[in-house]
Amino acid sequence: MQYSCKSGDILKGSLNRFHRSIMNKIQNYFLSLVLCLALSPSLLVAQTPTGYEIKKVVIDPGHGGKDPGAIGTGRYKTTESDIVLAIGLKLEEYLNQYYDSLEVVMTRNTDDFIELKERAHMANDCGADLFISLHCNSNSSHAPYGTETYVMGLTREKANLEVARVENSVIYLEEDYEEKYSGFDPNSPESYIGASIMQSTFLENSILFAQFVQDEFRSRVKRADRGVKQSVLYVLDYTAMPSVLIELGFISNQAEEDFLNDEMGQVYLASALYRAFKRYKIQLEGVDNSIQPSKKISVNAHDTVEVEEPTKSDSANISKDSLGVKDSIRVEKTEKGIQNQTADSLIFMVQVAASNNRIELDTANFKGLSDVQEIKTENRYRYALGSFRKFEEAMNYQKEIRKTKYPDAFIIAIYKGERISLQRAFEIMRNQS
């Protein structure tokens, strides 16, 4: 489905529509958060319907028209805008074939230039439940490679701000951009400080979907996993639903450029995105309502692809630090639960289990893991590991735990010795920055 509207309609009342969309979604969305994130994920395996339903998805192939996006190495006539459109259309085909009741909206299905503000407006105006923006990465060096997925961010770290600057710079191609974006300057760090509060309501599920995307890219398509990251990107911060921006690979790297331009490579990436969506939908709804398509899609959605392993020189660009290192801060168990030595500190941990009854802190009860901490919350006992000041470090540690021990492990936040929601944790981080 191609979305279309008059440009005058885009600007008129767009902020009011955004606020109305936020308020309308929060009531239904809050139930899914409680069921899917406050409870142990292992309870969802039984596929008990939650009453929540994902009815509409917006696929946003980045760039287009007068904005070709990243050019690549110059060996192909295609650019980033061509590649992401091809993959977006393939993803649309997968979703339409496997879900008869799901509405899929494309921000563009031809080589058209769509303003950033219009992309966000399309998603808000049609009441989307998930927004997926597709891009290709690029770097002045040909060495970097791999996939990464961005969610709404609070960070202003240099590396993530550079991605934000590049993806948001399309604003300068739009007419009257200064008036439309009310002083939002892609080159100014100050422009990114306040925008993130707009999307924080939906951040937890954005992270959940982003993690599924990276899992599928790594395990099924054998892509190098650069992780889930946070950055202030306009199309993520001004959409009233869970939203992700996916960098499908580095078009500046010859091997990845070849894969991104290859028909089969595009099919594998699209099918991985479909599988990530299927996992996400089951997690939120508690039931699998996908169907067997009436006709076969070009490649089976469960196939995998073997690709050339990175060279040693390329591998050196992925630092061991990116795997996540525990902070020196120590977490202790007290009668009140987890208590940080620094009372006002915020830490993130990785939860691996939950029970109504107390579980003995023995390695045999936790698949050989030691240093498991017990957290008492109301009538439930939660069991978690790690102690991280940075959320990204917790996500990297969670990834390791998921690969080796607990595939459903997820992140929780501890503040002043008590568990708090991730949303509250991000608010605290924003106030402390």
- Which tens digits make up the pLDDT trace of 105-134? 999 999 999 988 888 889 888 889 999 999
Same domain, 188 and 328: no
Residue 109 lies in a domain: yes
Residue after which a domain boundary falls, among 318, 353, 382: 318
Same domain, 337 and 303: no
Residue 1 lies in a domain: no
* Residue whose C-alpha is closest to residue 189's, from 151, 154, 225, 149: 154
Instruction: Specify the CATH number for the domain of residue 183.
Output: 3.40.630.40
pLDDT at position 93 = 94
* Weakest-pLDDT range from 43-47, 59-63, 166-170, 212-216: 43-47
Mean pLDDT of the chain: 73
pLDDT band at 310 (very low <50, low <70, confident <90, very high): very low
How far, in Å, CA of 95 to CA of 220, rounded?
18
Same domain, 193 and 140: yes
Q: What residue numbers bound the domain in which 348 lies?
A: 321-432
Q: Does the pLDDT at position 307 exceed 60?
A: no
Residue 215 lies in a domain: yes
pLDDT at position 116 = 84
Burial class (CB in 10 A: 0-12, 13-18, 19+), 126: middle
Quote the percentage of the chain above a pLDDT of 70: 64
Q: Report how many domains make up the chain.
A: 2
pLDDT at position 344 = 63
pLDDT at position 141 = 92
**Residue 325: what residue type?**
V
How far, in Å, CA of 235 to CA of 215, rounded?
23
Same domain, 48 and 117: yes
Same domain, 189 and 41: yes
pLDDT at position 154 = 57
Same domain, 285 and 404: no
Confirm if 373 and 354 have CB atoms less than 8 A apart.
no
Same domain, 327 and 342: yes
Same domain, 292 and 412: no
pLDDT band at 303 (very low <50, low <70, confident <90, very high): very low
Q: What is the mean pLDDT of residues 279-304?
A: 69
Same domain, 265 and 361: no
pLDDT band at 144 (very low <50, low <70, confident <90, very high): very high
Residues facing residue 420 across a β-bridge: 413
* Residue whose C-alpha is closest to residue 270's, from 116, 141, 89: 89
Q: Print burial letters for 172-209: b (CB count within 10 Å at least 16), e (below 16).
A: eebeebeebbeebbbeeeebbeebbebbbbbbbbbbbb
How far, in Å, CA of 126 to CA of 122, rounded?
6
Residue 2 lies in a domain: no
Same domain, 18 and 86: yes
Triad 90, 284, 266: Cα angle to 5°: 15
Residue after which a domain boundary falls, among 272, 296, 318: 318
DSSP state of 298: S
Same domain, 292 and 325: no
**Distance from chain centroid for Cα 8:** 31
Edge-first strand order for the sheet with 243-250 is 103-106, 56-61, 130-137, 243-250, 147-152, 225-231
pLDDT in tens, 60-95: 999 999 989 999 999 999 999 999 999 999 999 999
Triad 216, 221, 226: Cα angle to 5°: 65
Residue 101 lies in a domain: yes
* Weakest-pLDDT range from 322-331, 339-348, 367-376, 384-393: 322-331
Residue after which a domain boundary falls, among 318, 338, 356: 318
Tokens of 282: 């089951």
Tokens of 433: 């920055």
Same domain, 224 and 288: yes
152: left (phi over 0), alpha (psi -120 to 50) or beta: beta
Q: What is the mean pLDDT of residues 145-164?
A: 65
Query: CA 99 → CA 4, 197, 240, distances in Å?
Result: 23, 33, 23
Query: CA 323 → CA 225, 228, 230, 316, distances in Å?
Result: 10, 12, 16, 13
pTM over 0.75: no
Q: 217-226, 301-310, 328-337: which has the highest mean pLDDT?
A: 217-226
How far, in Å, CA of 124 to CA of 59, rounded?
13
